[in-house]
Chain A
């Protein structure tokens, strides 16, 4: 509001927290409390590491102790075996952590949901047994009496506080920087709807790998420092279940998917658990774990996204109820009216050239015994508005899934502008210039309309400003400019369809695959949409559209392809195709026949 910009910047907040912490560290001279505030920082680092992967991408990891433990053992063994100072040992640990993360992530990202979580659990537990077997049950860090500073050993505990603080601030800055870049948006999109993100050109595997490698690097750095502070490393203390759980619990408690969550979680829970452990540890030896367990149960029941989001929602409710009542829909209406132009406007015929943009040659795909696509061959010329019709289960959506890389054809050839599409991933297909919308709209509901469209634009832009420009242009084209800042989850059905279209347009496609874009719309809304599609087509976009609403299709498409039981039974001008008996029998039905007869 009235606050100067610099005060509202998150970087200012990070600096303020850091300064307050340094002051705190200087005020405390009790060794135990110094250790506690050091641990609080280090567990914040662990939680940030967990958040970097799981918070942003939504893939819950139960195994972040792998990175923590590898960092701790790298630093310790480098010092014990090779006399390498932790000043080098920690960077070395970071490299080990990132490499381990890549090695773990690459195979494990094939899994989703709880299978991913459980598979991640197996890694640190396996490592735990391996390190025990290797004979590293308990490795103390040797004291260096000469040149202790060279070996990162300090009599003054406060220096450890500063070192841990530096590590935390670095991790926070990395998180902040990435959270607001395409890294954050891409991971958020993957979290909310991975197939849609892939179809919009996001290389999900690449971003996830980057996230886990950064996560592994940060976790390993934290683990390395932890070893220095504790002065002794055992497999259960660095690879144990409670280590992984701590990263997860602190983040979920504080707030998931934001840089502040892990810090808030650690600031509350670590002192609580440590104090209880110090006061009652003798009588109640597992009290720490109980605190974490109860904290996570309460959070899941009452604030599933964590305190930060709960507080934000609560503040937003008190302050800004009118935000939702913005008169934006009216603007959108006007904007979409602007794109309306007479349906009867003659289409420049020259647009559809003789050059084929897409060629299919005996493409087939089966699911078990079911032949979903059976030797389908056709060509789509550049600039055509190609309709695909057919009864339910005739293979229309399967055809799209094969075209844009969700499914691999069993055999056959697909060429787009001369490139073979067979075996390409959806994001690569999108990169080549094929956009896609879905039968059931796939949005990123917790992101704004603009950000939804930006996700589509990343594939065509190196920098984020350019992506935003492309996204705004795409929103303008579909008439959603007035809704740019609305949350996608709050849109009407028609607006969501338009936004999905804008996301596809933002990737500047040459060809767009539209799967039942008109489904579930009122006749009036369909009448609004048809001219838009026509116009996009006139502007040079080739469109392949699946649609059931025949009267709309007849007005819209230049050419029909009719599928039935996975076979192409007809192709031609709409006026001709609807008279073919096989088409009438398979799809249009007797009523249509009688109507045609009249």
Chain B
């Protein structure tokens, strides 16, 4: 592992400012309560973007039954896509520093969607979907290893293409905050939260209202039956894979406004995503949304009692506790017959 990683989160901007606020301006809330409220608020805001990432991963698992190990690295691609759209292509000049980053994050979606589409067409479809229907284990082993290979190529290829210098999308929003009583809400996080929740809602309506969405759900429910009903399962899988990855990429573009990133950044998020998805019940989109929210809260709340370097360790612990103690409950049915 040659590339560096970002050793710590960007200092919690709200917390940094709060410390400099003179005591005279404080309301009569005790400090611990104020800390708690601030952390809760940050947790919810961060959780919104995590929720969108988790929804993307969960959509893929729900439809394809594939655990995409490379999801974090597609998130990284989303961050760089947004970065280059903003700085290189000129969205910064065109739309200014307030709207520009948000539009860039949105546009990162279709770009990464296209990459995912081709990767599914050329690689994933050979070890999943109809290619492995009825095969023992349904190719889970091959899928997992293949996505690991894709992850390695993306991470290290990213190092070649983008370099190891940490980047960030500089938006004045990340230095400004709204005050809500004693709680400071970082503007970039609020905007990211709103956009992420909005996109997740769009997906929800797409899955429940549109014909295409219903076809996806049918393919997820019972691939065999869907084939008999004339649904092209491989195409449905490709669509789910690409949409799922595009959603995570958009979430990446949003996070990039306040989180510096380099090509290995995916690893910081991959466990966050798995934990959220597992927490919400594998394959459930709504569950993944709330799971991601919860992880945001857990991560931020852990900073109240743990040093900041260990906030991701706290998530690993949550992840292990869930998979170890609630495996069947959260992973759905045990269908093994003897």
Binding site for B on A (CB under 8 A): 58, 60, 62, 107-108, 110-111, 113-115, 117-119, 121-123, 125-126, 129-130, 132-133, 137, 195, 236-237, 240-243, 245, 248-249, 252, 284-290, 292-297, 300-301, 304, 397, 400-401, 406, 438-440, 442, 515
Interchain CB contact under 8 A, B324 and A301: no
Query: How many Å lie between the Cα of A130 and that of B319 in the bound state?
Result: 16
Chain B positions 146 through 173: 1 when the CB is less than 8 Å from some CB of chain A, otherwise 0: 1011111111111110011000000000
Is B312 in the interface zone, CB < 8 Å from A?
A: yes
Check if B209 is an interface residue, CB within 8 A of chain A. no
Of A107, A121, A123, most buried by chain B (CB within 10 Å of CB) is: A121
B274 in the interface (beta carbon within 8 A): yes
With an 8 A cutoff between CB atoms, is B84 at the interface? no
What are 7 contact pairs spanning A and B, CB under 8 A?
A: A114-B144, A115-B327, A118-B274, A286-B263, A293-B156, A297-B149, A406-B338
Complex CA distance for A497 and B307, rounded to whole angstroms:
60
Of all chain B residues, the one with the shortest Cβ separation from A238 is: B1
Binding site for A on B (CB under 8 A): 1-5, 7, 67, 69, 123, 126-127, 137, 140-142, 144-146, 148-160, 163-164, 263-264, 267, 271, 274, 307, 309-310, 312-313, 316-317, 319-320, 323-324, 327, 331, 336-338
Residues of A within 8 A of B141 (CB): 58, 60, 113
A296 touches B156 (CB 8 A): no
Shortest distance between the CB of A180 and any CB in chain B (Å): 25
Is the pair A110, B140 in contact by a Cβ cutoff of 8 Å? no
Closest residue on chain A to residue B70 by CB atoms: A293
Chain B contacts for A241, CB-based, 8 A: 1, 155, 264, 267
A111-B323, A296-B148, A297-B150 given; A126·B316 CB < 8 A: yes
Q: Do the beta carbons of A129 and B145 come within 8 Å of each other? A: no
Q: In the complex, which residue of chain A has the Cβ closest to the Cβ of B67?
A: A114
Contact of B155 among A114, A126, A137, A289 (CB under 8 A): A289
Q: How far is the CB of A126 from chain B (nearest CB, A)?
A: 4
- Distance, CA A460 to CA B10, complexed state (A): 61
Q: How far is the CB of A278 from chain B (nearest CB, A)?
A: 13
Q: Which A residue's beta carbon lies closest to that of B336?
A: A195
A118-B67, A122-B271 given; A292·B324 CB < 8 A: no
Q: What are the nearest 6 A-B pairs in CB distance?
A: A289-B156, A240-B1, A286-B156, A293-B152, A286-B159, A293-B153
Q: How long is the Cα–Cα vector from A322 to B338 in the complex, in angstroms?
A: 36
Residue of B4, B158, B263, B264 with most chain A CB atoms under a 10 A cut-off: B264
Whether A113 pairs with B140 at a CB distance below 8 angstroms is: yes
B58 to chain A, nearest CB (A): 14
Q: Other than the known A284-B160, A293-B148, A293-B152, what 14 A-B pairs have Cβ atoms closer than 8 Å?
A: A107-B324, A114-B144, A117-B144, A119-B323, A122-B271, A125-B267, A125-B312, A289-B153, A295-B149, A296-B148, A297-B150, A300-B146, A300-B149, A440-B337
A289 to B149, CA, bound (A): 9
> Which B residues touch A285, using CB under 8 A?
2-3, 159-160, 163-164
In the complex, the answer to whether A111 meets B152 with C-beta atoms within 8 Å is no
- The answer to whether B316 and A296 have CB atoms under 8 Å apart is no
> How far apart are A436's CB and chain B's nearest CB, in angstroms?
9
Closest to A129 in B: B313
Chain B residues near A252: list those with CB within 8 A.
145
Set of chain B residues within 8 Å of A397, measured between Cβ atoms: 337-338
Known interface pairs A126-B313, A300-B142, A397-B338; A110-B148 also in contact (CB < 8 Å): no
Q: How far is the CA of A576 from the CA of B271 in the complex (A)?
A: 63
Q: Are B158 and A114 in contact (CB under 8 A)?
A: no
Q: Is the CB of B153 within 8 A of A290?
A: yes
Q: Chain B residues near A515: list those with CB within 8 A.
A: 338
- Quote the shortest CB–CB distance from B87 to chain A (angstroms): 21
Please report the C-alpha to C-alpha distance between residue A126 and residue B271 in the assembled complex, in whole angstroms: 10
Q: Which residues of B contact A287 (CB under 8 A)?
A: 156, 160
B338–A438 touching, CB < 8 Å: yes
Find out whether the CB atom of A294 lies under 8 angstroms from the CB atom of B153: yes
CA distance A249 to B153 in the complex (A): 13
- The binding surface of chain B is classed by DSSP as helix
Complex Cα–Cα for A237 and B159 (A): 16
Task: Say whether, besides A108-B324, A285-B160, A300 and B127 are in contact (CB < 8 Å).
Answer: yes
Contact (A115, B307) CB under 8 Å given A107-B324, A245-B152, A286-B159: no
A242 adjacent to B313 (CB under 8 Å):
no
* A292 to B234 CA separation, bound complex (whole angstroms): 28
Does A301 lie within 8 Å of B123, measured CB to CB?
yes
For B123, the chain A residues whose CB sits under 8 A away are: 297, 301
Cα–Cα distance between A301 and B163 once the two chains are bound (Å): 30
Q: How far apart are the CA atoms of A82 and B148 in the complex, in Å?
A: 39
* Bound CA span A119–B327, Å: 11
B149-A126 in contact (CB<8A): no
Given A121-B271, A122-B316, A297-B123, are A133 and B323 neighbors across the interface (CB < 8 Å)? no
Q: Name the residue of chain B whose CB is nearest to the CB of A296.
A: B149
Q: Which of A113, A133, A294 contacts B309 (CB 8 A)?
A: A133
Question: B324 to chain A: which residues have CB within 8 Å?
Answer: 107-108, 110-111, 119
Q: Please state if A286 and B149 are interface contacts (CB–CB under 8 Å).
A: no
Residues in A with CB closer than 8 Å to B336 are: 195
Contact partners of B140 in chain A: CB under 8 A = 113-114
Given A237-B1, A286-B155, A288-B156: A130 and B310 within 8 A (CB)? yes
Q: How far is the CA of A288 from the CA of B146 in the complex (A)?
A: 17
Closest-by-CB residue of B relative to A280 is B160
- Residue of B at shortest CB range from A252? B145
Which one, B1, B2, B144, contacts A60 given CB within 8 A? B144
CB of A248 within 8 A of CB of B2, answer: no
Contact present for A288 and B2 (CB under 8 Å):
yes
Minimum C-beta distance from A323 to chain B (A): 24
Query: In whole angstroms, how far apart are the Cα atoms of A108 and B327 in the complex?
Result: 11
| A127: min CB distance to chain B, Å | 9
Q: Which residue of B lies closest to A398 (CB)?
A: B338
In the assembled complex, the CB of B309 is this many whole angstroms from the nearest CB of chain A, namely 4
CB < 8 Å neighbour of B160 from A122, A240, A286: A286
* Min distance, Cβ A104 to any Cβ of chain B, angstroms: 10
Nearest CB of chain B from residue A67's CB, rounded to whole Å? 16
Q: Are B316 and A125 in contact (CB under 8 A)?
A: yes
Q: Are B338 and A133 in touch, CB under 8 angstroms?
A: no
Question: Which residue of chain A lies nearest to B318 when distances are taken between CB atoms in the complex?
Answer: A122
B126 to chain A, nearest CB (A): 6
Pairwise interchain contact B149-A122, C-beta atoms closer than 8 A: no
Contacts of B159 in A (CB 8 A): 285-286, 289
Contact partners of B271 in chain A: CB under 8 A: 121-122, 125
B148 contact from A62, A113, A122, A132, Cβ within 8 A: A62
Asked if A300 contacts B67 (CB within 8 A), the reply is no
Contact status of A118 and B323, CB under 8 A, knowing A286-B160, A293-B151, A293-B152: yes
Chain A residue at minimum C-beta to C-beta distance from B306? A133
The answer to whether A122 touches B327, judged by C-beta atoms less than 8 angstroms apart, is no
Known contacts being A60-B144, A62-B148, A248-B148, is A243 close to B1, with CB within 8 Å? yes
Beta-carbon contact of B323 and A289 below 8 Å = no
Residue of A nearest to B311 (CB): A129
Chain A: minimal CB distance from B6 (Å)? 11
Chain A hits for B158, CB < 8 A: 286
Give the residues in chain A near B338, CB-CB below 8 Å: 195, 397, 400-401, 406, 438-439, 442, 515
* Nearest opposing residue in chain B for A132, CB measure: B309
Most buried by B among A118, A242, A292, A442: A118
A368 to chain B, nearest CB (A): 11
User: CB distance A129 to B309 under 8 Å?
Assistant: yes
Least distance between A193 CB and chain B CB atoms (Å) = 10
Q: How far is the CA of A301 from the CA of B141 in the complex (A)?
A: 12
Shortest Cβ gap from B94 to chain A (Å): 32
Residues of chain B within 8 A (CB-CB) of A440 are 337
Nearest chain A CB to B102's CB is how many angstroms away?
30
Nearest-Cβ distance from residue A110 to partner chain B, whole angstroms? 6
Please state if A290 and B148 are interface contacts (CB–CB under 8 Å): no
Q: Which chain A residues border B274 with CB–CB below 8 Å?
A: 118
- Can you name the residue of chain B whose Cβ is closest to the Cβ of A245? B152
Residue of A nearest to B155 (CB): A289
Residues in B with CB closer than 8 Å to A294 are 149, 153
